A and B are shown apart, each in its own frame.
Chain A
Amino acid sequence: MVGEINVKDVVQTFIQPDGSTLTALDHVNLNVKAGSFVSFIGPSGCGKTTLLRLIAGLTKPASGEITLDGEKIDGPHYERGLVFQNPTLFPWLSIYDNVAFGLKARKIYKDKKQEVSEYLSLVGLENFASSYPHQLSGGMAQRASLARALIGHPKVLLLDEPLGALDAFTRMNMQDELLRIRSEKSMTMIMVTHDVDEALYLSDKIVVMSPRPAKIEDIIDVKMFRPRQRNNPEFLRLRSQILKTLHYAGNEPEQEYVI
């Protein structure tokens, strides 16, 4: 099994427009086991997207290092696929060519042509190969962008709120879709979300982060069997635990006794 991510003592700072330094991540340590599904959850400003972008290699940490299977991450690479909240498909390419983009960029398209249709059917878009992105619904576009990332056989798939822009029903379908894809193509998946239910439904491990200073508050192991039920007592217990950690649990209800 490959795809183990190690985050070692990572600090990330940004210079703000007024010249002051903002600490976006404060000495973060994290181990993501190969083949597991890990979610980063927390309110905005907690550094979860910053951490994901560091793993993707789009930015470099101020100090500390991140490794994939022991190798230091130094810039973006197709073995760490990335899916954004917006599908960010190339609007001038058909869905087929969007999915084939990575193969063509790496000049292996000729040998692996058949994989394009394979991945299109994996996400259920085999009938939309010649459509253009603007002709697709939000959910379909997000599937296409998923296929585009998956075709590079990434060891790690990074998902930055991939389902955030979808309606509730499409969202639940896509959650099952993600799990199905993970069972078909084994890989590590790391997802940023601020939906507690989504994190609980999908993850083996939930990293709860808090803002100012941005740090890891808690790491929760989710040991429920799949397919998970959203009304399972364990599900609800973990849900309130996470909300409590994030201080979103609200006030305790006042005890009332009726005699």
Chain B
Amino acid sequence: MVIKKWLPALASAAAILIQLLIASNGNHPQADADYYLYVSIAGGVIALMCAAASHLHKGFDKIWSFKAPFWTGVIVFFAILDILTEKFCILPAIYFPSPSRIFGAMVSDHALLAKCLGYSARLLLTGFFGGAIVGILTGIAVGFSKAADYWISPIIRILGPIPSTAWIPLVLISFPSAVSASAFLIGLAVWFPTTVMTSSGIKNISNSLFEVSSTLGAGYFYRIFKVGVPSAMPSMFIGLFNGVCSSFITLMTAEMIGAKYGIGWYVNWQKEMMSYSNVYAGLIIIAVLCSLLITLLFKVRDKVLVWQKGVIKW
């Protein structure tokens, strides 16, 4: 279907026409510039180039044909939002800003947003990697050592199911700064699922793999790191994925408790100022950040678990 590749470009054209031809409703506050129009034009140009490129390059054609309907949907969504807000003011103007105002908020607040993004990313990555590393190590210890299993498993069972944000009162007084406290909370949120999935992955390895490797001359540590860890990888990644998801939730909550900057803090602050276009701008940035991290995790997983291709689909 040739038309499918051109759909995003057509949708952009339609979005631009709607903006140019339909007069704005006076009841909806105007943005200080036609930011949505610029975004639509930029999007339309990119869509045109992609459609043209897909006719020239076979590999890209495959990707673009698959993605084109999705991007069409995104463009149509913003066009409908535009109609419901700026054009006819059907939705309450305070809570539902027009796309122009959302993009405008990103432009006017870009310096602060970038700073907040940096703070959030730092906090999230410190917490995530800290929690993931400690989680994997704990999981390996619990999976292989009977003593570790005896002492650590009950702790996991008692502490694990408590949402890490419930520790806020305790953590706030025991950590020197709000940043370290928040990083710890995120780490805790990642640690639990990673530990549980890693250790259960190791415990489920068929014993014959270990027996075979010992008859091939593998020592104790070689068996742990070259047999135990790789075969627990698939469930380790499930743990990490759950960890990423709960780390986002914890990040947003943690930033609302005395952080100086951060996307969660920004969204909360702007909400209190009743400035909803900035709230949405922040939310869009959070969504992009989270989905980027998850995509990255999936890419790493596909690389590491290439041997699973054709065995398990998830």
- Give A residues with C-beta under 8 Å from B: 56-58, 75-78, 80-82, 84, 86, 88, 90-94, 101-102, 104-106, 132-135, 145, 148-149, 152
Chain A residues lying within 8 Å of B211, measured Cβ to Cβ, are: 56, 58, 76, 82
The dominant DSSP class at the B interface is helix
Q: B216 to A88, Cβ gap below 8 A? A: no
Interface of A is mostly: loop
Assuming the contacts A58-B211, A88-B206, A134-B310, asked whether A78 and B216 have C-beta atoms less than 8 A apart, the reply is yes
Q: Which 9 A-B pairs have the closest CB atoms?
A: A102-B216, A78-B217, A105-B218, A76-B214, A82-B215, A106-B217, A92-B307, A92-B230, A76-B215
Residues of chain B lying within 8 A (CB to CB) of residue A149: 215-216
* B208 partner residues in chain A, CB cutoff 8 A: 84, 86, 88
Closest-CB distance, A116 to chain B (whole angstroms): 13
Residues of B within 8 A of A133 (CB): 307
- Taking CB atoms, residues of chain B closer than 8 Å to A56 are 211, 215
- In the complex the two chains form, is B227's CB within 8 Å of A90's CB? yes
Contact yes or no, B215 A78, CB < 8 A: yes
Whether the pair B311, A134 counts as a contact (CB closer than 8 A) is yes
Tell me the smallest distance from the CB of A119 to a CB of chain B, in Å. Answer: 13
Interface size range on B against A: 20 to 34
Mark out the residues of chain B between 205 and 223 whose CB falls within 8 Å of any chain A CB in the assembled complex.
206, 208-209, 211-219, 222
State the Cβ distance, A151 to closest chain B Cβ, in Å: 9
> In whole angstroms, what is the CA distance A56 to B219 when docked?
15
Interface code B233-266, partner A: CB below 8 Å = 1, 0 otherwise? 1000000000000000000000000000000000
Q: How far apart are B233's CB and chain A's nearest CB, in angstroms?
A: 7
Q: Known contacts being A90-B230, A134-B310, A134-B311, is A101 close to B209, with CB within 8 Å?
A: no
Bound-state CA distance A134–B230 (Å) is 16
Contact status B217-A91, CB under 8 Å: no
Nearest chain B CB to A95's CB is how many angstroms away? 11
With known contacts A88-B209, A91-B311, A135-B310, A105–B231 Cβ distance under 8 A: no
Least distance between B211 CB and chain A CB atoms (Å): 5
C-alpha gap A3/B213 in the complex (Å) = 21
10 CB-based A-B contacts, threshold 8 Å: A76-B211, A76-B215, A77-B217, A88-B209, A90-B213, A91-B308, A91-B311, A92-B305, A105-B218, A148-B216
> Known contacts A77-B215, A105-B216: does B307 contact A91 (CB below 8 Å)?
yes
Q: Any chain A CB within 8 A of the CB of B226? A: yes
Specify which of A57, A82, A132 is in contact with B212 (CB 8 Å cutoff): A82
Task: Give the residues in chain A near B215, CB-CB below 8 Å.
Answer: 56-58, 76-78, 80-82, 149
B window 255-314: CB within 8 A of A: 305, 307-311
**Distance A80 CA – B211 CA, assembled complex (angstroms):** 12
* Contact (Cβ within 8 A) A105 B230: no
Complexed CA–CA distance, A58 and B233 (Å): 26
Q: Which residues of A contact B217 (CB under 8 A)?
A: 77-78, 102, 105-106, 152
Name which residue of chain B comes closest to A145, CB basis: B212
- Other than A90-B213, A102-B218, A105-B226, give 8 A-B pairs with Cβ distance below 8 A: A86-B208, A88-B212, A90-B227, A92-B231, A93-B307, A101-B216, A104-B226, A105-B222
Closest to B214 in A: A76
Q: How far is the CA of A152 from the CA of B214 in the complex (A)?
A: 12
Cβ of A125 to closest chain B Cβ, rounded Å: 17
Chain A nearest CB from B282 CB (Å) reads: 41
